[in-house]
Amino acid sequence: MAAHDIPLSTIQQYKSLRSTVTEALRTAIIVGDLEEGELYSAPALAEPLGVSATPVREAMMDLTNEGLVSPVKNKGFRVTVMTPEDLREMTAVRQLLEGPAVHAVTGHIPAEEFPALRAKADQINAAAAEGDLRTYLAEDRVFHAEILKHTGNSHLVILCTQLRGRTRLKALRTLVDNGQLIHSAYEHVILLNKLEEGDAEGAYEVIMRHLGHASQLWSQGTEGQSTTHITPILLHDIAKPSPESS
């Protein structure tokens, strides 16, 4: 694909150049601006970003480790393909991990940390209102990691953050246009309300519904029947043993 055909814009550096480029490319993959299965060269990606090929190559190696792209020798990087079934299963894994984790940390987050969490939620809401998907996704990832860190399990935080970064949310731009993303963003505020009230069951229900959007509303633009269920999608797929096998 020619550089002028790639839907990327010049970046504004706010971290290290490598981190900034990585964030821009990650967002482009998640929202579908960089197409699944398409091969991209570092120079072609660098041109619309307004940077050299070197930080792009470094960023794409980071994204390779995250499972978003795979390197193709002497050619560039191919965006990995995620089928609807892949996305549905990944969403189920996130629910199985984050649902119980949020339930467990309810009542254990120090009161003095809530102002910072609410400020982060405000940033997410503002980004949703402005259609700034790069900021929306970056702050969303930090917000959830900050909550999960109260489990005291760094491996859980890393794994959940990686899974969040691999999700494909192709309908986000449509949701910005029709105003629905603002409603999804406000769920962060509702979650904080439940956490601050010490309502573990309520917090669990909010996070499960929130994560459930990933395989439907945020990726397809519509909600299906399964989001009415609070239990992880995966549990609906486990066949009950027949009487003969018990």
Per-residue pLDDT of the chain (246 residues; tens, 9 = 90+): 555 566 665 655 556 899 899 989 988 888 888 988 999 999 999 999 999 999 999 999 999 998 889 999 989 999 988 888 888 888 888 999 999 999 999 999 999 999 999 999 999 999 999 988 888 888 999 999 999 999 999 999 999 998 887 777 776 777 877 778 888 899 999 999 999 999 999 999 999 988 887 666 544 545 454 444 444 544 444 444 445 544
The predicted pLDDT at position 8 comes to 64
Question: 84-237: same fold as 8-79?
Answer: no
The predicted pLDDT at position 7 comes to 65
The predicted pLDDT at position 82 comes to 84
The predicted pLDDT at position 246 comes to 42
- Domain 8-79: give its CATH code: 1.10.10.10
Q: How many CB atoms lie within 10 A of CB 242?
A: 7
**CB distance 119 to 125 below 8 Å:** no
User: Could you tell me if residue 13 is left (phi over 0), alpha (psi between -120 and 50 degrees) or otherwise beta?
Assistant: beta
DSSP 73-138: TTTEEEEPP--HHHHHHHHHHHHHHHHHHHHHHTT-S-GGGHHHHHHHHHHHHHHHHHT-HHHHHH
3-state secondary structure of 71: strand
User: CB under 8 Å to 135, separation ≥6 — which residues?
Assistant: 123, 127
- Domain borders along the chain are 8-79, 84-237
The predicted pLDDT at position 15 comes to 63
Supply the pTM of this predicted model. 0.76
- Domain 84-237: give its CATH code: 1.20.120.530
Q: Which runs of consecutive H residues, i.e. helices, occur in the chain?
A: 17-30, 42-49, 53-65, 84-105, 114-130, 133-148, 154-166, 172-178, 180-197, 200-212, 217-220
